Amino acid sequence: MQSAKRIQELPPYLFAEIDKKIAKAKAAGVDIISLGMGDPDRPTPAHIVRGLQVAAEDPKTHRYPVYEGTLAFREAVAGWYERTRGVELDPVSEIVALIGSKEGIAHISLCYVDPGDINLIPDPGYPAYSTGTMFAGGKSYKMPLVAGRDFLPDLSVIPHDIAKQAKLMFLNYPNNPTGAVAPKGFFEDVVAFAREYDIIVCHDAAYSEVAFEDFRPLSFLEIEGAKDVGIEFHSLSKTYNMTGWRLGWAAGNKNVIEALARVKSNIDSGVFTAVQSAGIEALNGPQDSVEAMRKLYAERRDIVVEGLRYLGWELEKPRATIYVWAPVPPGYTSTEFASLLLEEAGVVVTPGIGYGQYGDGYFRISLCVDKERIEAAIERLKDAGIRYDTDRQAL
Ligand SMILES: *Cc1c(COP(=O)(O)O)cnc(C)c1O
């Protein structure tokens, strides 16, 4: 049986070749250090786990959940926005619970995109923006994120006719994979652009709490007029080490939230009520785990950046996210360089091409491993003679 075009059109799995090499190295007994996965390594804080345990004991949580999320969870989200960002939201009409933010990101195109419609997508970017677009029959217009523009898309170069046809614009700051952050002026330009062309902005704020020193990223919803033009996707995954729990939300424009809730009610039946109770514990409970998480990643980031600088890289320290985005040495594609690190040093990084063509000059290091392993990875690069300025022929 032929699979549907939407399956056939999925981008090829770019890491297949590297995965094969990893499997081979592991089989040969090589101790691989994987800096690939963006999946927090520390456990979910204990009070949140207890929140699930208590709620799961209550048979009331065992039946179908309220599709759009319990009122208590949505109130906790509204309270969190109010406390952390000064943003006021109506928990009933402006917030919907998601089975992780990826679920909402993948489904939002079904609400607004008809076959042939266009979405504006950052490149490099989180793959769910473009696959969700394609599943709805839409086309992605890629907005390049380049170092010279601080990895912010240049709205002024989007052709007028493309902007006029565009339905959604996906943005993500703090950004995966580049670690970039967005200043207020950029978001203000986005609101004006979205108004002019009647585009819905979908801001993915998964890393808004993973920010270092005194830097606190803006919520898109803090921008004047943002609620008129868009929504923000959010997640407990990175803030509270809850990637396995599948709990997130979308908040903002009530028409968009209503449309998303309507599509979802026809596909899934919401998030396990006990998981939402744990989410309330996370949002309303003590936040010292969040501060500890920031310190932990900042320390690991410093080891990575200082290590790479010692090896010839010129790098700024990212102000947020769990990633370091670094250029590959001249003469390599991102896949070639990732293969080199694996073969010569037993270190796995993610080649930038996995996030789009504009990612190709880069590789991504994830900070989700112990600092001892990160230090060991840097030592291995030193020992293997891998430097930013290494002559490719010499290796
Ligand atoms: C990790 C991540 C998410 C969060 O996904 P969940 O489904 O909430 O676990 C969303 N967007 C980006 C860019 C991410 O890296």
Mean pLDDT over 104-109 rounds to 98
Closest ligand 1 atom to residue 99 Cα is 7
Task: Give yes or no for residue 393 having a pLDDT over 60.
Answer: no
Task: Give yes or no for residue 124 having a pLDDT over 60.
Answer: yes
Q: Which residues pair with 157 in a beta bridge?
A: none
Ligand 1 centroid from CA 375, angstroms: 27
State both tokens at 217.
């990223």
- Residue among 40, 17, 75 nearest 236 (CA): 40
pLDDT digits (tens, 9 = 90+) for 251-261: 999 999 999 99
Residue that the structure tokens 């003590």 belong to: 286
Split at pLDDT 50, 70, 90, the class of 114 is: very high
Task: Give yes or no for residue 391 having a pLDDT over 70.
Answer: no
pLDDT digits (tens, 9 = 90+) for 265-288: 999 999 999 999 999 999 999 999
Ligand 1 centroid from CA 54, angstroms: 27
Q: Cite the DSSP H helix spans in 166-287.
A: 184-197, 226-229, 254-265, 273-284
- Whether ligand 1 lies within 6 angstroms of the CB of 101 is answered as yes
Q: Which helix (H) or strand (E) holds 385?
A: none
| For ligand 1, atom 14: residue with the closest CA | 206
Split at pLDDT 50, 70, 90, the class of 311 is: very high
- Whether ligand 1 lies within 6 angstroms of the CB of 44 is answered as no
Ligand 1 centroid from CA 27, angstroms: 31
Mean pLDDT over 10-33 rounds to 85
Task: Give yes or no for residue 394 having a pLDDT over 90.
Answer: no
Split at pLDDT 50, 70, 90, the class of 389 is: confident
Q: What is the pLDDT of residue 11?
A: 81
pLDDT digits (tens, 9 = 90+) for 34-57: 999 899 999 999 999 999 999 999
Of the two residues 186 and 5, the one the predictor is more confident about is 186
Closest ligand 1 atom to residue 175 Cα is 13
Query: Residues of the chain with pLDDT > 90: what percent?
Result: 92
State both tokens at 81.
């926005």
| For ligand 1, atom 3: residue with the closest CA | 206
Q: What is the pLDDT of residue 362?
A: 98
Strand order in the sheet with 200-204: 95-98, 248-252, 230-235, 200-204, 166-172, 118-123, 139-144
Ligand 1 pocket test, candidate residues 39, 238, 276, most atoms within 8 A of CB: 238
Q: What is the pLDDT of residue 180?
A: 98
- Whether ligand 1 lies within 6 angstroms of the CB of 40 is answered as no
Ligand 1 pocket test, candidate residues 103, 204, 268, most atoms within 8 A of CB: 204
Closest ligand 1 atom to residue 237 Cα is 9
Mean pLDDT over 168-176 rounds to 98
Split at pLDDT 50, 70, 90, the class of 390 is: low
> What domains, with CATH codes, occur in the chain?
5-43+288-384 (3.90.1150.10), 46-284 (3.40.640.10)
Q: What is the pLDDT of residue 392?
A: 54
Task: Give yes or no for residue 105 having a pLDDT over 80.
Answer: yes
Ligand 1 centroid from CA 42, angstroms: 17
Split at pLDDT 50, 70, 90, the class of 341 is: very high
- Whether ligand 1 lies within 6 angstroms of the CB of 243 is answered as yes
Task: Give yes or no for residue 98 having a pLDDT over 70.
Answer: yes
Rounded Cα distance, 81 and 283, in Å:
10
Interior/surface letters 126-154, b for 16+ CB within 10 angstroms, e for the rest = bbbbbbbbbbbebbbbbbebeeeeebbbe
Task: Give yes or no for residue 25 having a pLDDT over 60.
Answer: yes
Of the two residues 255 and 392, the one the predictor is more confident about is 255
Average pLDDT, the chain: 96
Q: Which residues pair with 166 in a beta bridge?
A: 118
Split at pLDDT 50, 70, 90, the class of 20 is: confident
pLDDT digits (tens, 9 = 90+) for 173-201: 999 999 999 999 999 999 999 999 999 99
* Spatial CB neighbours of 81, under 8 Å, sequence gap ≥ 6: 87, 88, 89, 219, 221, 251
Split at pLDDT 50, 70, 90, the class of 13 is: confident
